[in-house]
Homo-oligomer: A and B are copies of this chain.
Amino acid sequence: MALKRIGKQTIKLQMPPVITAYAAVGGKMEAQGPLANSFDFLSEDSYFGAKSWESAESSMLRKCFDIAVSKAGIEAASIDYIFSGDLLNQCVGSEFAVKDSGIPLFGLYGACSTMAESLSLAAMAIDGGFAEKVCAMTSSHFCSAERQFRMPLAYGGQRTPTAQWTATAAGALILGCEGSNLYVTNITTGKIIDAGICDAANMGSAMAHSALETILTHLSETGRDPMYYDMIVTGDLGSVGHDILLDLAFENGYDLSSVCTDCGMMIFDSEKQDVHAGGSGCGCSAAVLAGYLLPRLKNGELKRILFAATGALMSPTTSMQGQSILGICHAVSIEAEKPC
């Protein structure tokens, strides 16, 4: 077994990389939500100064990257790699965001699991000795996502109770070898899970089994009890998927009800905001991590979290062909104290 591997899906980082800076950017709906104060920047303009929804997403992500770099107190040019991806076809959100940066890019696609995927690979790049400073980031935009995956906005389609609202948000993390108390300690990489769900308005159900598989594998391979963590935070199952996850975990002998929460349930107030089952989109878990969770780890309110971002790998093409929506979940342990 490889040096740092402690299980089939889990690795333990030898010299745990640290998250030295983080930034979250959001849009109008996010500004009306319960985590509004967590964002570094909120735009009243859904176009973020651009002329199309796709360019708006790039503009938002670039803004987020710039803020993270500024908060890290470094020059962008000193970053060795960017790991980024997004929901848009060909990942144009990320590509246009970084095109003028001159920084080597690894483009990723993991649907809403992308923040955990980019964080995993960024941490591995540092722990592997390949880089000293790495950026992991992702974004999503309600308007670019809706028209690509479901209906043009102008159509005014009715949304079902299980539907989630794609967050217009971005999160960017700068990782390094030292200079912070936020350690990336373990990574559990997900495999594809086919729960047989074909409904593009029920992503939570499509992803809940993936979350279960990765979280239980993580606990088993690390030998940890769920209560090792102050918070196991999925992103983004929404309330429907979250309830399914708790039920499935209970059937498997784990009561996660007191420790498990979900970024999609945190970013919006489903009572007051018309978001149905909650938030979704790569940017949702990215912004909740960068804006809300990491500052609480930094200031001691939280000691250890398991960030388990879930992706519904939904293709309108294969869905129309009758195929199910595949799910994946990647989990990353972030701890506020260097482990022994």
Chain A positions near chain B (C-beta within 8 angstroms):
1-5, 8-9, 11, 14, 51-52, 54-55, 80-81, 85, 88-92, 95-96, 98-99, 101-111, 117, 120-121, 124-132, 148, 189-192, 194, 313-318, 321, 323, 326, 328
Contact = CB atoms under 8 A, between A and B. Distances in A.
A119 to B, nearest CB: 12
Contact of A95 (B95, B102, B130, B313): B313
Given A80-B2, A321-B54, A130 B11 contact: yes
A108 B107 CA distance: 6
Contacts of A125: 124, 128
Given A3-B129, A90-B111, A111-B90, A105 B189 contact: yes
A211 to B, nearest CB: 15
A317 B89 contact: yes
A108 B111 contact: no
Nearest to A118: B106
Given A108-B109, A194-B99, A318 B129 contact: no
Q: Within the oligomer, what is the number of copies of this chain?
A: 2
Contact of A130 (B106, B128, B314): B128
Contact of A192 (B80, B105, B130): B105
Contacts of A108: 106-109
A69 to B, nearest CB: 16
A4 B128 CA distance: 9
The 7 closest A-B pairs by CB, nearest first: A128-B128, A104-B189, A3-B129, A99-B192, A90-B315, A89-B89, A109-B109
19 contacts: A2-B131, A4-B128, A4-B129, A8-B104, A9-B104, A54-B317, A55-B321, A81-B189, A88-B317, A89-B315, A90-B313, A90-B315, A91-B313, A95-B326, A98-B192, A106-B121, A107-B109, A107-B328, A125-B128
A130 B90 contact: no
A11 to B, nearest CB: 5
A313 B109 contact: no
Given A5-B131, A103-B191, A124-B124, 11 more contacts: A2-B132, A5-B80, A85-B109, A90-B109, A90-B111, A92-B318, A99-B194, A99-B326, A105-B191, A108-B109, A128-B130
Best-buried of A11, A52, A192, A318 by chain B (most CB within 10 Å): A192
A291 B38 CA distance: 52
Contacts of A88: 315, 317
A128 B132 contact: no
A277 B323 CA distance: 35
B105 A190 contact: yes
A65 to B, nearest CB: 13
Contacts of A124: 124-125, 128, 130
